[in-house]
Amino acid sequence: MRRAIVMVLSLTVSGCAAHRADIADRPDRLNNWASVVALPRGTPVRATLNYDFDGRLDDVTDSTLTMRVPPDMHRRTISRGLVVRVAVLVPKKMRWHWLGKPVCIGIVSGLVGALVGAAMRDGEVAGVSLWVFAASSIGGFYHFLHHQVGHEWRVVYARP
């Protein structure tokens, strides 16, 4: 009986591995020029040839990439064959992004509680509310400092 159970388990596990879809069968999105064509006009773009240069996307065809390059925003058209990589500027992904609203609620409620406690001459309510306000303000400052600021370059095309 034990041999039959072991045999069934081994066949089940080996069969699952054999029927798994191969990852290489799917097309790689980074090697697809259509991802660049799909970008909206005016998107901040960094194109890599032998060097990087930044600008705003003006037009994309099957054979060219046209960008407006600062400082005077002149148009620069590049052949698709010369483009090694294209990246877009996106906001950084934030790990604790959901924490912003509760911190703001803590700041506002702590301030309102402190004002109500002061108006009612209740020192305990005012003191606790000031602690909530102070802790929420410090937490909000750190949240803003580490999560709300900054952008990063995300690669949308890389020449194979």
Q: Name the domain boundary from 91, 115, 131.
A: 91
pTM for the model:
0.55
Whether residue 108 sits in one domain with residue 72: no
Whether residue 101 sits in one domain with residue 86: no
Structural domain count of the chain: 2
From CA 48, how far away is CA 141, in angstroms rounded? 36
Taking only the tens place, the pLDDT of each residue in 37-78 is 999 999 999 999 888 888 999 999 989 999 998 877 788 899
> Quick check: is 3 in a domain?
no
Q: Residue 81: phi, psi to the nearest 5?
A: -65, -25
Between 17 and 144, the higher pLDDT residue: 144
Whether residue 84 sits in one domain with residue 41: yes
Q: Are 55 and 70 in contact (CB under 8 A)?
A: yes
Q: What percent of the chain stands above pLDDT 90?
A: 39
Grouping H, G, I as helix, E, B as strand and the rest as coil, residue 135 is: helix
> Quick check: is 87 in a domain?
yes
**CATH code of the domain containing 45:** 2.30.30.520
> Quick check: is 2 in a domain?
no
Whether residue 86 sits in one domain with residue 112: no
Whether residue 111 sits in one domain with residue 81: no
Q: Name the domain boundary from 91, 120, 135.
A: 91
Q: Are 76 and 55 in contact (CB under 8 A)?
A: yes
Whether residue 44 sits in one domain with residue 82: yes
Examine the pLDDT at 120 and tell me if it is beyond 60.
yes
> Quick check: is 79 in a domain?
yes
Examine the pLDDT at 2 and tell me if it is beyond 90.
no
> Quick check: is 157 in a domain?
no
With bands split at pLDDT 50, 70 and 90, how would you rate the model's confidence at 6?
Answer: low
Nearest to 83 by CA among 39, 50, 56, 55: 50
From CA 48, how far away is CA 139, in angstroms rounded? 39
From CA 127, how far away is CA 111, in angstroms rounded? 11
From CA 158, how far away is CA 88, in angstroms rounded? 12
Pull the structure tokens for residue 29.
């999105």
> Quick check: is 155 in a domain?
no
Q: Name the domain boundary from 42, 58, 91.
A: 91
Pull the structure tokens for residue 37.
């064509």
Whether residue 110 sits in one domain with residue 75: no
Q: Are 109 and 135 in contact (CB under 8 A)?
A: no
pLDDT at 14: 60
User: What is the average per-residue pLDDT within 116-141?
Assistant: 92
> Quick check: is 64 in a domain?
yes
> Quick check: is 70 in a domain?
yes
Domain of 141 in residue numbering reads as: 97-148
pLDDT at 100: 82
Whether residue 130 sits in one domain with residue 77: no
